[in-house]
Every structure is written in structure tokens, then in C-alpha cells.
Structure 1
């Protein structure tokens, strides 16, 4: 796993919580925010965006990665994910869905770190290989 500084972790968690407020989730009421750390230190945030045709929506993780890729970035160190129902202040850990795990595998190496956060001070660091040991490639 990449070694992340306390500042990097803190910045990622703060960004994910901030961008979660922008989630467009009128159907599920489940708001997710993510923050992707590029190898150059730049952070791209993403939130989930739903659609009445449910499969057409996009998850926060894929939004963040799409923003980074479309800005010319290709090398990533970590992503933070925070999520839960909009009316619930007691969040639990929100791991990426299977589609996002596979999407991440296209752009992230084995040292990539996933940070799951319940609050600014409660979080877990997980190696990418632990969350998707056998990616389709």
C-alpha cells in the first residue's frame, strides 16, 4: 500500500464529506462522496448522481475518476469514500460497489489505498488487492 501522510488522509476525508453534500440522490436518499488522490497530490472529488432510470446513474467513485481522467490524470494513490442515508448522522463504512471496484482496477495499481470513513476521525485504510483480489482484465 502507498504510504499516506496524515495530512493527505485528512484532506481526502474532508473533501469526501464536503462533496457528499452535492450528491443528487432523490430516489435512494443515499448520498455518497469520494475524493481521489493523484500521484501529484491533486484531489478530485465526486458524488453519486442518480437517474430515474436507475442503471443510468453514476457512483461517486466513478465520478471522481472520470473527472481526473478527463483532466489528463492517469496515476492515482488513494480514494476516500463516505456514504449513508441523507437523514442519518451516524454513518457506517461504505465500500465501493462491484462495478466501482472493477472500474478502479482499470486505473489503479496494487499499492492503491481505499479509505472508508465514518467520520473525520473514524476511518479504515484498505489495500486495493484486499477489496478486489481477482479483477477482470
Structure 2
């Protein structure tokens, strides 16, 4: 038997205004997208904004459905639209923000497992990491240099 350790290198900013200006702007886009969320069941709104290498910014918000599995998270809404509209563009950065109608979300909220897998697919496709910045409604912002920091044992096409 052999043990091994997995670690992640994350950067924590104390507040939004500590981020580089371009990332602040991208996070503001995610906040605007979050306000367009359709989340009548969970009351949990998420916004995503993606910066592509062609300069385009694509945003998305979570879209719920009474048949829960039929809804879609903000991250996948945005990244799938980016892939459909600009199939040859690389995703450089992704900003995520979350808010609840039930309480103030001060804890940085990372992508769910399904979204991590979708982001991993795009990193593999473009052969380049995607910087991911995530926050709650207010407070700290966490930066991951790649989805591999959030999903260290990635399942990808190399297994197929």
C-alpha cells in the first residue's frame, strides 16, 4: 500500500476590490448575470461570466425547473454557450458569484461537481488552464489557477 497527498494552490482575496481591474469587471458581469437567475425553488442564484481569448465576455445564470435535473447551473450555461457561439476561442477566466434569498452568502461558492467536469472538458479541449474566481454575495474571493485545483483527479477522454 502507498499513500499520496493531493493539494491545491488557491489564492484568497479579502474582497472584490483587491482583484485586478479586469477581473473585478468580469466579477461584476457575473453579479449582473446572477440577478437574471431563474431560481424559484432553491432561492439560490448563481451568475457566471467567462472571458474568451477573442475578448468576448459570455455570461450565464442558473435556470431551474420543477423537474430539478432538467435545470442548468450558471457555469454550464455560460461555458456551453461560449463553446457553441465561439467554438475556436479559448476560455481564459471564469468569475462566479452566488446569492441566496434566505441568507447572506459570505462564503466563496465554488462550482458543483457537474460544472467542474464540464469546465475540465473545456480545459482538455483547449489544452490550457482556465482561471476560476468565485465568491458568495460579498466578502472573500477565491482564485483557482485551473479546474484541477478544484477537481484533482479529473476523468477525461484519456480514460475512454
Q: Which of residues 84, 103, 107 is equivalent to 2:99?
A: 84
Unaligned runs of 5+ in 2: 1-8, 10-18
Question: What RMSD in Å do the two structures reach over aligned CA positions?
Answer: 2.0
Q: Is 2:139 aligned against 1:132?
A: no
Q: Which moved more, 1:85-94 or 1:11-20?
A: 85-94
**Cα deviation, residue 120, structure 1:** 6.8
**Cα deviation, residue 91, structure 1:** 3.4
Give 2:47's aligned residue: 33
Q: Distance in 2 between matches of 1:85 and 1:29?
A: 6
CA contact (8 A) 1:84 1:92 kept: no
Q: Which of residues 10, 20, 24 is equivalent to 1:10?
A: 24
Q: Distance in 2 between matches of 1:111 and 1:67?
A: 19
Q: Identify if the C-alpha distance between structure 1 residues 120 and 88 changes in structure 2 by more than 3 Å, giving closer, same or farther.
A: closer
Q: Identify if the C-alpha distance between structure 1 residues 107 and 82 changes in structure 2 by more than 3 Å, giving closer, same or farther.
A: same
Q: Distance in 2 between matches of 1:66 and 1:54?
A: 19
Q: Distance in 2 between matches of 1:56 and 1:47?
A: 14
**Cα deviation, residue 132, structure 1:** 1.2
TM-score normalised per structure 2: 0.76
CA contact (8 A) 1:115 1:126 kept: yes
Q: Distance in 2 between matches of 1:52 and 1:121?
A: 31
Pair member with larger Rg: 2
Q: Is 2:112 aligned against 1:97?
A: yes
**Cα deviation, residue 66, structure 1:** 1.5
TM-score normalised per structure 1: 0.87
Runs (4+) off by over 3 Å: 87-91, 118-122
**Cα deviation, residue 121, structure 1:** 6.8
